[in-house]
Amino acid sequence: MRSFVLPAMLAVLSVPAWAGDTAKDVNPDEIIRKFAAKEAEFARARENYTYRQTVKIQTLSDSGVVDGRYEIVEDIIFSRDGKRTEKVVRAPVSTLTRLMLTPEDLEDLRNVQPFVLTTNEIPLYEIRYLGPQKADEIPCYVFAVKPKKMEKGHRYFEGQIWVDDRDFQIVKTFGKAVGLLGRHENQQFPKFETLREQIDGKYWFPTYTRADDVLHFKGNDQRLRMTVKYENYKRFRTSTTITFGGEAPEEKKPETKKPEKPEKPE
C-alpha cells in the first residue's frame, strides 16, 4: 500500500517586498541568535505542559467527496512518577483505504509540524532572511529555512517561519517535512501551515496545523485534508516548583494572543 506523510495546503505563501526591507537596523544574524535562544527556552517549558492533541485526516475522491477518515484524540500527560506519556482518549476505526500512516508520518506529527528551531538546531539549517511581514496583525521577521545536509533516520523542516519582532518566537510556519528515504519508497510529504498562540503570556504554543494538498504518488494522485489541534495547555505541577528561564510565573488566568484563525475543513 502507498505510504503517506501528514498533509498540507495548496497555496504557497510568498513574502512581498516591503519598503525598508533592507533597513540598516535589521541584523538577521542577531535576530536568528535571539529567536533560537527563546525557542530553546520555550522547548524546555513546553516539556512541562500537558495538552490535548486531536488529529483528523480525510481523503477525497476526484470529485471532491470525502471517502476516507482517520481520527485520534490523545492527551499528552504525566504519569504518577512524573514521566511524560500519551493517553488515547478517542480513536474511531479508520476508514482510510488509499493511504497508510508510516513512522515518518508520526515523527512529523510530533516534531516537524509543531516546528521549534532552537540554538542547538541552528547549525543543521540554512537560514535566509526574506524581510518583514505581518502574521495577521503581528509584525514579524520572515525567514526561509532548509536543512544543510540530511541524515538517514532524521526528519527536517523546509519552508518559511514568521518570527514575532517583539517576543522573538516563531508564531507561524509554512512548509513541509523532508528527509532521506529508501530508493524504492513511495512516500509523499505535503505542505502544512502551523499557527501558534501566546498561551501563558510568555510563550507561543502551537495550537493549529492545517493541510490541504494533492500528493503525487507513482501512478496516481491523491488529495487529502488534515487538521491538528493542540488544546488545553496546562502547566504540570508537582511539589517541586518548575521555573521557565527565570522565576516561576504567578498564578493567573492565561492570556491569549493569536494570528489568523483558519477555517476548519468539512
Q: Is the pLDDT of residue 148 over 70?
A: yes
Geometric angle at alpha carbon 76, from 73 and 80, rounded to 5°: 130
SS3 83: coil
> What band does 100 get if pLDDT is binned at 50, 70 and 90?
confident
What secondary structure letter does DSSP report for 201?
A: S
Domain borders along the chain are 3-9+27-235
Model-level pTM? 0.80
Q: Is the pLDDT of residue 260 over 60?
A: no
Grid look-up 493517553 returns: 87
Using CB atoms within 10 A of its CB, is residue 249 exposed (0-12), middle (13-18) or buried (19+)?
A: middle
Q: Is the pLDDT of residue 45 over 60?
A: yes
What percent of the chain shows pLDDT beyond 70? Answer: 79
pLDDT digits (tens, 9 = 90+) for 193-215: 999 999 988 899 999 999 999 99
Using CB atoms within 10 A of its CB, is residue 122 exposed (0-12), middle (13-18) or buried (19+)?
A: middle
Q: What is the pLDDT of residue 229?
A: 98
CB hemisphere CA count around 232 (13 angstroms): 10
Q: Are β-strands 100-101 and 3-4 bridged in parallel, bridged antiparallel, or unpaired?
A: parallel
Distance CA(195)–CA(175), nearest Å, equals 12
Distance CA(207)–CA(225), nearest Å, equals 17
